[in-house]
Amino acid sequence: MRQGFKEMDNFKHRNDCRICGGSDFFKILDLGEMPPANAFLKKEDLDKPELKFPLVLYFCRKCGLVQLLDIVNPKVLFGGQYDYLTSASKPLVEHFREMAGELVRKFVESQDDLALEIGGNDGTLLHEMKNRCRVLNIDPAVNMTELSQKRGVPSISRFFSSETAEEILKEYGMAKVIVANNVTAHIDDIKDVFKGVEALLSDDGVFVFEAHWVGNLIGDGGFDQIYHEHLSYYSLTALKYLIGQFGLKIFDVELVPVHGESLRVYVGKNREVGSEVGNFLTREKEMGLDKEAAYADFSEKVLKNKKDAVGLLSDIKKNGKKIIGYGAPAKGNTLLNYFGITGETLDFITDTTPTKQGLYTPGSHIPVYPPEKLFEAKPDYLLLLAWNYADAIIKKEAGFREKGGKFIIPVPEVKIV
């Protein structure tokens, strides 16, 4: 069994930091017990007990990593059927199309080069690269690798590990490009992943990964991006500590507008380190991301956010107005459960992801419908659970606003637009 779980264990609590082994932690935020954020329910399962696990955020005083120490078994979270679909999000599809083009221009030199993606979901990114080089998607969700295969992207249903890397090396050879978008945060034994990357990456290769930046989480982002799948909330400071243990080095970094702001980190073996790396590390130090005080302030901000949002929604309902949820992302379920929002507040939620439609949100049990249902209901307010795409949504739904409808952006500070 992977990551130290016994066969029947659903979760475990660790007492040491996953990248430095330290045990001196500051507890930032306790969000209570929650079901996994992507564990949407069928109607016939609503009366059955749900698996719920502690959701508590900590800061490691030794290396600066912000993390969860209560680890849900990855087979519970990612194995078998998985409902998150990259291709259902138009902004993400465009983001990965642009990223694929950049990777090809900068790093692919031959049709024989291998580009491998860790946790490639339905193959959206590699689909854009498959005519320029060999591609391979490694993802544990069987339904996602099946979709990936249908798009012409060779795929293997496995968790990526150092053992998996050795098997890939034997069959496919060294990788020129390894990509991991929004997955490094999901992995408890992240050291084993980097061990596998180091073994599989060619000497002139590049490992490029994106992860939500903790500076955005505690700044302009929202606490709802904390859920069981996201075990680590990275700063470049903590990543440098991690990556330096594997004969690898960060040679470039940039912020990209995904999930608020994400780090896009470029890692190699023999590449010259650009000035942006040092500049960014200095920026994080100036922000206090290596000290607990910044995270204590974040905790206070979250408590105020909850009080203000719950009060606003309560007042709207008392005035007899109808509120519909817009988008059913995983992070929305952290918000719904922490705020205590149920079907008494939201009539339903709409989402473009086909695999979520007809299901109910975990914990809060709110039905999810296709977008067409929205305008049949004629709501007064739309609660933007997919608030990170607020600008695109408001533009897309301009007609709703012209008819007097209003949007509620719930985090990091609740506001009506």
SS (HEC) of 205-216: EEEEEEEEEHHH
Q: Estimate to the nearest angstrom the gap between the alpha carbon of 358 and the chain centroid.
A: 23
Between CA 324 and CA 347 the distance in angstroms is 6
Between CA 170 and CA 130 the distance in angstroms is 21
Q: Which two tokens stand for residue 43?
A: 């109607």
CA-nearest of 384, 11, 1, 26 to 231 is 11
Fold classified for 319-416: Rossmann fold (3.40.50)
Dihedral over alpha carbons 159, 163, 169, 174 (to 10 degrees): 80
Residue 70: which residues within 8 A CB-CB, separation 6 or more? 11, 12, 13, 53, 54, 55, 56, 228
**Side chain identity at residue 8, one-letter code:** M
Q: Estimate to the nearest angstrom the gap between the alpha carbon of 355 and the chain centroid.
A: 18
**Is the CB of residue 411 less than 8 Å from the CB of residue 335?**
yes
Q: What are the phi and psi torsion angles at 281 (to 5°)?
A: -60, -40
CA-nearest of 232, 148, 162, 218 to 191 is 162
Indicate the domain borders of the chain.
Answer: 1-318, 319-416
182 DSSP assignment:
S
- H-run or E-run covering 195: helix 190-200
Q: Which two tokens stand for residue 401?
A: 């606003």
Burial class (CB within 10 angstroms; exposed 0-12, middle 13-18, buried 19+) of 399: exposed
**Residue numbers of the chain with a pLDDT score lower than 70:** 1-8, 78-84
**Is the CB of residue 158 less than 8 Å from the CB of residue 136?**
no
pTM: 0.90
Report how far apart, in Å, the C-alpha atoms of 155 and of each of 82, 122, 354 are.
Answer: 16, 9, 22
Q: Which two tokens stand for residue 172?
A: 């496919």
Q: In this predicted model, what pLDDT tens digit does every residue of 131-187 receive, in sequence order?
A: 999 999 999 888 899 999 999 999 999 999 999 999 999 999 999 999 999 999 999
pLDDT of amino acid 35: 96
Q: Estimate to the nearest angstrom the gap between the alpha carbon of 166 and the chain centroid.
A: 27
Q: What is the CATH number that goes with domain 1-318?
A: 3.40.50.150
Q: Which two tokens stand for residue 41?
A: 């329910």
Between CA 4 and CA 161 the distance in angstroms is 13
pLDDT of amino acid 258: 83
pLDDT of amino acid 3: 47
244 DSSP assignment:
G
Q: Quickly tell me which residue has 């909330």 as its tokens.
A: 233
DSSP-assigned beta bridge partners for residue 236: none
Which parts of 265-329 fold into alpha helices (H)? Answer: 275-287, 293-318
CA-nearest of 340, 368, 339 to 353 is 368
Between CA 261 and CA 333 the distance in angstroms is 20
Q: In this predicted model, what pLDDT tens digit does every residue of 261-311 receive, in sequence order?
A: 999 999 999 999 999 999 999 999 999 999 999 999 999 999 999 999 999
CA-nearest of 327, 182, 281, 233 to 29 is 233
Q: Which two tokens stand for residue 215?
A: 């500076």
Burial class (CB within 10 angstroms; exposed 0-12, middle 13-18, buried 19+) of 308: middle
